[in-house]
Amino acid sequence: MKIVFVVPNMAGGGTERIVSLLANEYVKKGIEVSILIFAGNQIDYSLDKRIEVVIAGGPSGGKTGIRLKRIKFMREYYRKNRDCIIFAFSVMGAVFSAVATIGERHFTLVSERSVPDEYEHKWIRDFFYRRADCIVLQTQDVLKSFDKKIRKKAVVISNPVDPALPPVYTGKRKKKICAAGRLEYPKDYPTMIRAFYDFQKEFPDYTLEIYGKGSLERELKDMVKNLGMEEKVNFHGFCSTAREEIRDGAMYVLSSRCEGISNALIETLSMGMPVVATDCPVGGTRMCIKDHENGIMVPIENPEALAAAMKELVANEELAQKIANNAAKIRKQFSIERIAEQFLECVEGKNKHAYTID
């Protein structure tokens, strides 16, 4: 068996990290693996030396000629590897692979990584998704975004936990609220900052530590300055050791407006951190958290509710400890071994249609 992962790039990002984890796990199992990159050449994640990396071209900039050369390259590669299985981890990866394999037969699995309703060219995506053998979705709610033909091919598989994740923290927690993710609109950091502004009036010795970079950094820093919290809110940018930095925090906060399954959420739960997270579309938080059992869920875009939950965790140490203990159990549930096997079961037909909505 040979599995070919198809991705635009391997630059730092959630999808790329999942591909690296699965690819490393499969070669460890003795499965031949390639990663076909069709729109770049950057690799920010550690890959086993046995993994073949194939560069099909750089960014096209929308130029038809470059895209046609890319498809030609991919077609030649697939013909040389006639028995390979295609795991496309992007919409365009599914499109290019479908075109490149016209007249050929390759089992094709497409992993939907985005929020489907926000995709601009849904008809193109859906046309090529119908050609795939299996569609892997991150949450049950995502199924509702597709028609019956696609749903019949769909299964729900969570993101895996990185086996290199730091162990569960058991020491005394520091007075810091932690968050990590791109500084972009979907993450809704303004709601988090407003909630922390309310929170710190009652608990002034806590700080807010934000890890990540993005186009809204300047705007968010200006917001913090206007609220007079420059000494209490720290922006760390991209940090390769963020997991180690936040694991001893009082809690982790996710304020997203929309999210598939947040890798950062799964990781912080697995490290045994108390978590407050928005119950945002498309259901990722709800898949991971049972309210007041292994985390606290709050409505989206509601700083008052977010602040109240943060205060509740700090004021009630017994609740925070119970949540932390229960949260750590997710590490086994979403282990890389378990998730990698679920993907293979799709190929073998054992996992197909397991979550279909009729």
In this structure, is residue 212 part of a structural domain?
A: yes
- Calpha distance 334→135 (Å, rounded): 19
In this structure, is residue 178 part of a structural domain?
A: yes
DSSP per-residue codes, 103-133: TS---EEEE--S-GGG-S-HHHHHHHHTTSS
In this structure, is residue 222 part of a structural domain?
A: yes
- Calpha distance 20→347 (Å, rounded): 19
Range of the domain at 264: 174-333
Domain count, the chain: 2
In terms of domains, do 111 and 198 share one?
no
Residue 294 belongs to a domain with what CATH number?
Answer: 3.40.50.2000
Phi first, then psi: what are they for 74, rounded to 5°?
A: -65, -40
- Angle separating helix axes 122-129 and 91-100, nearest 10 degrees: 50
In terms of domains, do 326 and 339 share one?
no
Closest CA to 135 of 120, 118, 150: 150
Closest CA to 297 of 270, 327, 325: 327
pTM of the model: 0.87
In terms of domains, do 179 and 150 share one?
no
In terms of domains, do 42 and 149 share one?
yes
Query: What tens-digit pLDDT sequence spans the chain (358 residues)?
Result: 999 999 999 987 789 999 999 999 999 999 999 999 999 998 989 999 999 999 998 888 889 999 999 999 999 999 999 999 999 999 999 999 999 999 999 999 999 987 888 888 899 999 999 999 999 998 888 888 899 999 999 999 999 999 999 999 999 999 999 999 999 999 999 999 999 999 999 999 999 999 999 999 999 999 999 999 999 999 999 888 999 999 999 999 999 999 888 889 999 999 999 999 999 998 899 999 999 999 999 999 999 999 999 999 999 999 999 999 999 999 999 999 999 999 999 999 876 544 443 3
- Calpha distance 249→178 (Å, rounded): 6
- Continuous segment of H or E residues that includes residue 336: helix 336-348
For residues 287 and 140, is the Cβ–Cβ distance under 8 A? yes
In this structure, is residue 184 part of a structural domain?
A: yes
In this structure, is residue 204 part of a structural domain?
A: yes
In this structure, is residue 355 part of a structural domain?
A: no
> Per residue in 183-203, is it b (16+ CB within 10 Å) or e — as a string?
beeebbbbbbbbbbbebbeee
In terms of domains, do 202 and 79 share one?
no
In this structure, is residue 166 part of a structural domain?
A: no
In terms of domains, do 252 and 302 share one?
yes
As a dihedral over the C-alpha atoms of residue 297, residue 146, residue 344, residue 3, rounded to 10 degrees, the angle is -120
Q: Look up tokens 């920010």; give the residue.
A: 44
- Calpha distance 42→40 (Å, rounded): 6
